[in-house]
């Protein structure tokens, strides 16, 4: 069984090396739509794969980090990165080019950790992230499965330690320690159910 949740965010980027020059040489933006699919072959005590309330705050904060932000590739021209950081309060730096495919992979890796590190207490079993779909336009999307997210050899290495969020973004997180928790095996607990 798969359950699905949808989020939206507005983001600006440049996709270097893209064959379309409008994309590779100009800052431009998209209205992104994200679908998060979670699966299990068990249902919990309430007859659900999981109550999404358990993880929605952390997942929402991760996706929202990219809203009205500019996403930069750490290997881009350092002068451009410096300029973008100077004139934007909200920016994210990724270790990979910010294509829609790489957005999917970054989201997968982060949300996969949240799920793995969530303490389930209502009989949930085998809850796993199935895939992440990111729509970049009304007609185009990328879908990332587990084998894509962790395919560092063919699709580029993503170490979540190398993802940088600006202070303005981190200040908006409900849990200011969100990324550190993801990186350091912190436990995610729904405060209402403990």
- Catalytic residue numbers read 23, 68, 136
Q: Which residue has the tokens 């929202």?
A: 64
54 C-beta neighbours (distance < 10 Å), count:
24
Q: 116 with 182: CB under 8 angstroms?
A: no
Half-sphere exposure of residue 60, counting CA atoms within 13 Å on the CB side? 10
| Integer angstrom CA distances of residue 175 from 58, 59, 85, 90, 108 | 8, 11, 23, 17, 20
Q: Which residue has the tokens 């330690």?
A: 161
């Amino acid at each position: 069984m798969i359950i699905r949740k949808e989020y939206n965010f507005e983001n600006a980027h440049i996709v270097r090396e893209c064959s379309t020059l409008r994309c590779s040489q100009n800052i431009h933006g998209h209205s992104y739509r994200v679908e998060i699919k979670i699966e299990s072959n068990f249902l919990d005590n309430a007859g659900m794969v999981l109550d999404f309330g358990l993880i929605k705050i952390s997942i929402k904060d991760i996706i929202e980090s990219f809203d009205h932000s500019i996403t930069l590739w750490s290997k881009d021209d350092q002068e451009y990165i410096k300029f973008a950081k100077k004139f934007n309060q909200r920016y994210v730096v990724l270790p990979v080019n910010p294509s829609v495919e790489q957005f999917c992979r970054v989201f997968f890796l982060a949300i996969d950790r949240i799920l793995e590190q969530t303490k389930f207490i209502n009989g949930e079993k085998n809850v796993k992230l199935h895939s992440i779909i990111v729509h970049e336009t009304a007609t185009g999307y990328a879908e990332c499965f587990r084998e894509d997210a962790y395919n560092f050899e063919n699709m580029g290495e993503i170490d979540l330690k190398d993802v940088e969020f600006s202070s303005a973004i981190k200040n908006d997180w409900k849990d200011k320690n969100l990324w550190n928790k993801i990186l350091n095996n912190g436990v995610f607990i729904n405060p209402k159910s403990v």
